[in-house]
Structure 1
Amino acid sequence: MKDIFDECKFSEFNIKSRVIRTGVWERQTEGGFLTSEVFDRYEDMAKSGVGLILSEIFAFDPKDRFYEYSANVNYRGFMKDYKQITDICHNYDVPILGQLAFFYYDDGDNQKAEPNDLTIEGIRKLQAEVIMVAKKFSFAGFDGIQINMGNNFYLSRFVNPYFNQREDEYGGNTMNRLRIVLEIIQLIKKTIGFHVSCRINIEDVRKNGMTQEESMKIAKLLAEHGADSIQITGRTISMKYDAEEKHVFQDYADKLSAEVDIPIILAGNLRDMKTMNMILNSSNVEFMSLSKPFVAQPDFLADWKENGDGTSICKGCNNCYSKKESRCFQYYEEKSD
């Protein structure tokens, strides 16, 4: 019987559990520097029994849509602050990946250049900027990078046939639309040599957009061309599923896990240990990620492990996401009463 607290291999990492933490926003700063609450949060997560940590979203362009709500790689204290963060994680033998996501892209001529607008020079500029972020992550002690090409972020649109109607080698068939990412992966592996994870959409329910069949092709190409792990997600505002009996991504994750040789991370609305263990023992899924439960209570896994069971206190109100905060409104209000 598999259990979420099994010690196991995740690509090149030995991890303490099958649970992956996924970060989103980072607003707890003072004068641009991280506050003590951020360091405490990471220590609480790292010592709780989490297997691997995905950081909050990092942005690199101050004009990007979510820049003010995100962590960033540009401020003076980045190296010092995040070297302390990664050291905290490593002190508890927890690997940590820096998550890169951007919504807009400034190619030098257009601050919001869409995939069809980019020249080859613009593509090279984008690739170079992603490589530079990966280098900064490496210097700060991260064990790898997650390229967020899911949800509605820029690279999700670039690989999506709904948005990408290019007629050159970066448009058309699946391989061409994915080429921009595959070249980035290969450069990171060659120049830095650390873990590259990709987050992809299972589908987006747009006519002539990303289908599950197309998404599966993308996942397999990523695995064949150097990606070390894949996290699956969705353009959730348009997902048309009945999730009462089964996790909405479980069948997809089950099939993909059986067909590629890299770790696949199941994400989305996982809240209790019983359900997670049931998924582990009824499918090929080996790893699962949670986001909002760690916002509500960063160290909840310690309680789950001690009790042999547990349900997150997260009420699913979504305020942390919609208000773009790295704190829980419900939980901290209750604690202060």
Structure 2
Amino acid sequence: MIIMAHENLYTSKQLGKISMNNRFIVAPMTRITATDDSSATTTMRDYYERFAKGGFGAVITEGIYTDELYSQGYLNQPGLTNNNHVETWKNVVSAVHEHDTAIIAQLMHAGGQSQGNAYTDETVAPSAIPPKGEQLGFYGGSGTFDVPRALTLDEIEEVRHSFVQAARLAKEAGFDGVEIHGANGYLLDQFLTDYLNERDDEYGGSLENRLKLLVEVIKDVRNEVGEDFTVGMRLSQIKVTDPAYKWPNGEESAKTIFTTLEQGLDYIHVTDPDATQPAFGEGSKSLTAAAKAFSSLPVIANGQLGDPDKASKLLDQNDTDFVSLGTSALANPDYPNRLASEQELKAFDFESTLLPLAYIKEHEVNAEIIKA
């Protein structure tokens, strides 16, 4: 029985061409449990399938790199660059589909934020400016980021092509859609970010110019996959190594960004430390409310929404259409089913939850605690 206070979380709604029977989505989370050649594994299949068994309407994968040049961000990160990748992802997709859950491939180019690439030791970015902060030891990195090489115009064309190719392969693998990763300080977000993009050509300078590559990638991907395939984009102000960053000019910039990018997309997925809090200063809109106000698309909100009262209220206020859960989903792979049957929701416990391979290697965690 569904508690009436949370009934709106169990209503149906379209996400592009995906018919969702509830508003719960598993957020993309870096896992780095692919093989050394970035093929999907049975561990990955079991990881994603358990959310489908648990009643989530859709699952968005971890970031999948798009080419065999500069896009890979972490060792043992999965890719979608060749037929072997496609075949191994088919096993994951079919396992999720068996439970009437949709699965969306998140396509990611790490750019200057890469800290592990099997194809090269060089990193690239809009400009020769390294990300702030240090690499994540949790995912196998150490020390400050290398100074990236600025992409040439020809290489920007290659980046565009890589997203197109990866989207085509995602469709071949049976995914229900793709999510273009434009958040968290990865390459597309680097183009958008003022202090990381000092280009003096058509891809730099004004906000409109810094949005140019994102607009082109959306258009390219849409042209490749057609109208019958769901295409979304994830956006954030925060970055992996710069969580305090805000878009200059606040809501004014947000309006330009969301209105510019909505063409060709089926949804916008925004992430913030707390999806319910003002995103641009005291008294301002939350990021998800801004996405709803400044675009006509369905919005997925992410950020501390494991409290069902909080998530339900966000829907009631029409500040979002869907909620994506990260740590709450890790702690409760059966979150939608558990909430519907009025079972207690478990708190997230870092060491007893399925952990990334890098953490296991670094800390020699007993494999017995790593269970779905």
Both structures adopt the same fold (TM-score exceeding 0.5): yes
| Residue 115 (1) aligns with residue 120 (2) | no
| Residue 15 (1) aligns with residue 20 (2) | yes
Q: Secondary structure at the match of 1:150?
A: strand
Residue of structure 2 aligned with 1:230, choices 243, 268, 279: 268
Deviation of the 1:281 alpha carbon: 1.8
Cα distance, 1:110–1:43 mapped onto 2, change above 3 Å? closer
Match of 1:87 in 2: 94
What is the CA RMSD across the aligned residues, in angstroms?
Answer: 3.5
Cα distance, 1:312–1:270 mapped onto 2, change above 3 Å? farther
Counterpart contact for 1:272–1:312, Cα < 8 Å: no
Cα distance, 1:300–1:284 mapped onto 2, change above 3 Å? closer
- What do the CA deviations read for 1:33-75 (whole angstroms, capped 9, x no partner)? 5443332232221132212210111124476663314222247
- Structure 2, unmatched stretches of 5+, are 128-149, 280-284
Residue of structure 2 aligned with 1:47, choices 38, 46, 53: 53
Paired with 1:207 and 1:288, the residues of 2 have a C-alpha distance of 22
The percent of aligned pairs where both chains have the same amino acid is 22
Q: Secondary structure at the match of 1:230?
A: strand
Deviation of the 1:285 alpha carbon: 1.7
- Structure 1, unmatched stretches of 5+, are 237-242
Counterpart contact for 2:41–2:88, Cα < 8 Å: no
Deviation of the 1:251 alpha carbon: 2.5
| Residue 270 (1) aligns with residue 270 (2) | no
Cα distance, 1:34–1:185 mapped onto 2, change above 3 Å? closer
Counterpart contact for 1:20–1:53, Cα < 8 Å: yes
The aligned amino acid for 1:95 is: A
The aligned amino acid for 2:97 is: H
Q: Secondary structure at the match of 1:38?
A: helix
Residue of structure 1 aligned with 2:176, choices 143, 152, 155: 143
Q: How does 1:181-196 map onto structure 2 within 5 Å?
A: 181-193=214-226, 194-196=229-231
Match of 1:260 in 2: 295
- Shifted more, 187-196 versus 262-271: the winner is 187-196
The aligned amino acid for 1:217 is: T
TM-score, structure 2 length as denominator? Answer: 0.75
| Residue 313 (1) aligns with residue 352 (2) | no
Counterpart contact for 1:25–1:69, Cα < 8 Å: no
Counterpart contact for 1:271–1:312, Cα < 8 Å: no
Match of 2:286 in 1: 251
TM-score, structure 1 length as denominator? Answer: 0.82
The aligned amino acid for 1:314 is: F
Match of 1:221 in 2: 260
Paired with 2:168 and 2:276, the residues of 1 have a C-alpha distance of 40
Aligned residues: 322
Deviation of the 1:168 alpha carbon: 1.9
Counterpart contact for 2:32–2:358, Cα < 8 Å: no
- Shifted more, 198-207 versus 144-153: the winner is 198-207
Paired with 1:208 and 1:145, the residues of 2 have a C-alpha distance of 25
Counterpart contact for 1:26–1:71, Cα < 8 Å: no
- What do the CA deviations read for 1:268-317 (whole angstroms, capped 9, x no partner)? 1222222211222234322110112222342232211222x653431468
The aligned amino acid for 1:3 is: N
The aligned amino acid for 2:126 is: P
| Residue 201 (1) aligns with residue 239 (2) | no
Match of 1:180 in 2: 213
| Residue 67 (1) aligns with residue 74 (2) | yes
Q: Secondary structure at the match of 1:68?
A: coil
Paired with 2:70 and 2:208, the residues of 1 have a C-alpha distance of 30
Deviation of the 1:100 alpha carbon: 1.7
Deviation of the 1:102 alpha carbon: 2.5
Deviation of the 1:266 alpha carbon: 0.8
| Residue 302 (1) aligns with residue 337 (2) | yes
Q: Secondary structure at the match of 1:176?
A: helix
Q: Secondary structure at the match of 1:271?
A: coil
Paired with 1:302 and 1:170, the residues of 2 have a C-alpha distance of 46
Paired with 1:45 and 1:186, the residues of 2 have a C-alpha distance of 31
Paired with 1:34 and 1:79, the residues of 2 have a C-alpha distance of 9
Match of 1:240 in 2: none
Cα distance, 1:266–1:158 mapped onto 2, change above 3 Å? same
Cα distance, 1:128–1:29 mapped onto 2, change above 3 Å? closer
The aligned amino acid for 2:345 is: T
The aligned amino acid for 2:29 is: V
Deviation of the 1:198 alpha carbon: 0.9
Deviation of the 1:77 alpha carbon: 3.5
